[in-house]
Chains A and B, each alone.
Chain A
């Protein structure tokens, strides 16, 4: 049996008394794309944050590329080359130029030389089509450009897994596509991706599996064709009906 790149088994997470993730089990094969959707507050962010070791968890196990994450959330650096994350609010460093945003991680966390880091950064900025903005500050860029810089920054650690938490939700509508196009390019290059998004076009285009979460648990998961044409649970149907109205 081939090992999955990401193996989450019986994951439990509480915020204080609040049970945010209830017995979540999710396996992601290398090179596969999993799209997670679900209503606000269903635990999507909590799940990807746990995978990226930004949140501690209280039960179950998370394995990324054969490395078991510690529930306490310590030893971050060991898994840095394993996964990277793109946030809804971009979270670029506003006081640093675009280029410095990218080179900071390699120089200070991976002990690369400045020249090495810069060459790699320029290559990635070119890949997300913002190389001409390298010397600007994030505040001088449009939202779409900022998110593409954030994607380049996530790629700079050469991760085996890319996590996205609603990458297009804070963008103006006309900028959603330039970001989705970059993501679709990455998907077609074979990067393993876990994407929290409500862009169902993206799910249809590149998704191998669509996962629907509600109230901290996975309610349904299926390949996109089946998920959209014949959703099994009522909750999924209701959710999809609302999405169709708003899109």
Chain B
């Protein structure tokens, strides 16, 4: 008879301490930067490059730089960067051609919009009250920018510019563009052929065009279709273009979310007797939008950078205003410094949004696991 090989030994139930883990700064350093020879070579190459560029950068940007002066010849005498140009020109960069004495109004607009955007981003504050606040802010921003009431001098949109204008273009694109995107996405899935065709048409045409040509169409072609005595403000026309452009892209993102919702959810909604809009608003959209928030954040960040395109049709966003401010012959040599300043401004906003989108993605993931 063959001997049985399968056997076991009963456990003795001891609790053992976990194995000691190596740690420490040097070990971490070695693992991150000198983990094998490829990694070591890359690290050394990068260190050499830094060693070659950093000293020059340091002396240009820091040690030889002029930080403040009202006299551009001081800068010309120095070999480093002329950061003084920002101190000299920051009002024009930030507010464009908006009347100098009224700049506080623009600053207030930027503070209001940024503050409320930050509040709206915090999940704890998510409630319908936010809609009321956004409504109020819109009214406030309109009053502040236009004036003409409460003793504020009137300022036409042709004088608007700089960061407040960038904010207005960005917020309008997103705040009006998102609902339009939802409508377009729902329309694209509609059972009614006419509605579907119109929505598909808008989405595909706009996605097939560069933003610049959408803006030019709004400025040049739109008036050809309208009665001659009806002139629409140039900024308003640009805003319409920006909203439609944002919505066309976001609509495809939203559609992806709608497709991810199981048909059982539609069945259950129907079985409860909910008609189309209540079913969409209460059941389908909350789930679909939650899925696509990270993807939408991408579009939203892009919308912020897309605001710079309006300068092409003669509306001075913060980048356009910077360019205009550099027409001053005394300072034109230092436009690099001015553009670096604007680039930092954009980076701060975009980086914040990017980090936020990572945060919200993690949060939504953990919610889904619940």
Contacts and interface: CB of A to CB of B under 8 A. Distances in A.
B40 interface: no
Given A89-B264, A108-B282, A94 B273 contact: no
A93 B265 contact: yes
A202 B67 CA distance: 86
B136 interface: no
A117 to B, nearest CB: 12
Contacts of B267: 49, 54, 85, 87, 91
A39 interface: no
Given A104-B282, A139-B370, A95 B287 contact: yes
Interface in B270-311: 270-275, 278, 282-283, 286-287, 290
B272 A157 contact: yes
Interface stretch (A76-84, A189-197, A219-227): A76-84
Given A95-B287, A104-B282, A140-B370, A109 B264 contact: no
Nearest to A86: B271
B287 A105 contact: no
B264 A93 contact: no
A228 interface: no
A232 interface: no
Contacts of B286: 95
A49 B268 CA distance: 11
Q: Is the interface of B mostly helix, strand, loop or mixed?
A: helix
B274 A52 contact: no
Given A109-B278, A140-B370, A93 B268 contact: yes
Contacts of B273: 76-77, 80-81, 105, 109-110, 157
A52 B264 CA distance: 14
A94 B282 CA distance: 12
Q: Is the interface of A mostly helix, strand, loop or mixed?
A: loop
Contact of B271 (A52, A89, A108, A140): A52
Contacts of A105: 272-274
Contacts of A33: none
Most buried by B among A54, A77, A108, A109: A108
Contacts of A140: 370
Contacts of B264: 87, 89, 91
A151 interface: no
A84 B262 CA distance: 19
A76 B275 contact: yes
Contacts of A81: 273
Given A87-B264, A87-B267, A104-B282, A153 B290 contact: no
A106 to B, nearest CB: 9
Interface in B249-273: 262, 264-265, 267-268, 270-273
**4 closest residue pairs by CB, A with B:** A80-B273, A105-B272, A109-B273, A91-B268
28 contacts: A49-B267, A54-B267, A54-B270, A77-B273, A77-B275, A80-B272, A80-B273, A85-B267, A87-B267, A87-B268, A89-B262, A91-B262, A91-B265, A91-B267, A91-B268, A95-B286, A104-B274, A104-B282, A104-B283, A105-B274, A108-B278, A108-B282, A109-B273, A137-B370, A139-B368, A153-B272, A154-B271, A157-B273
